[in-house]
Amino acid sequence: MSKKLWKKSESTLVEVIERFTVGNDYLYDMHLALFNIYGSAAHARMLTKIGIITPLDLDAILGGLKRIIKEIDQHSFVMQLEDENIHTKVENILVKTIGDIGKKLHTARSRNDQNLVLSLGGNN
């Protein structure tokens, strides 16, 4: 089990808490992955337009997002309980593949912003 901020010393307690708070949410996030990526791409373009990230950063981020889309298309993209949620999964993949530039994607973006994109995408 991955390290959690709220981890207690008893592993059984951690598992019970995680099942209660997370449940199968990570499995539902698989269905929202493309919406998250499209929203992330739009956000990265906005960050470039207002001068927060460079065009080179944008190219790296968009390239990383395209690789994730390819994984989804090839059915090799998998969400696991340890991934927490789709937002964290995408960021972790970006950081792994393009380095710290991947962390810039969430500048000026809250989880509420990300969830709104997912809720709009999930209703279409």
- Dihedral sign (CA 94, 35, 39, 25): negative
Domain membership of residue 73 (yes or no) is yes
Residue 8 lies in a domain: no
pTM: 0.75
Who contacts 9 (Cβ-Cβ below 8 Å, separation ≥6)? none
Which domain range does residue 105 map to?
20-122
CA distances (Å), 61 to each of 27, 45, 51, 64, 95, in order?
25, 10, 15, 5, 10
Can you give the CATH number for the domain in which 67 is found?
1.10.275.10
Percentage of the residues of the chain whose pLDDT score is greater than 90: 46
In a domain, 111, yes or no: yes
pLDDT band at 114 (very low <50, low <70, confident <90, very high): low
Domain for residue 76, yes or no? Answer: yes
* Over residues 62-83, mean pLDDT: 92
Indicate if the pLDDT at residue 7 is higher than 50: no
Residue 4 domain flag: no
Residue 38 in contact with residue 121, Cβ under 8 Å? yes
Contact 105, 43 (CB under 8 A): yes
Q: How far is CA 35 from the centre of its chain?
A: 10
Residue 63 lies in a domain: yes
d(CA 76, CA 78): 6
User: Cβ(29)–Cβ(89) under 8 Å?
Assistant: yes
Q: What angle do CA 47, 51, 102 make, to 5 degrees?
A: 45
The number of distinct structural domains making up the chain is 1
pLDDT, one tens digit per residue, over 34-71 is: 988 999 999 999 999 999 999 999 999 999 999 999 99
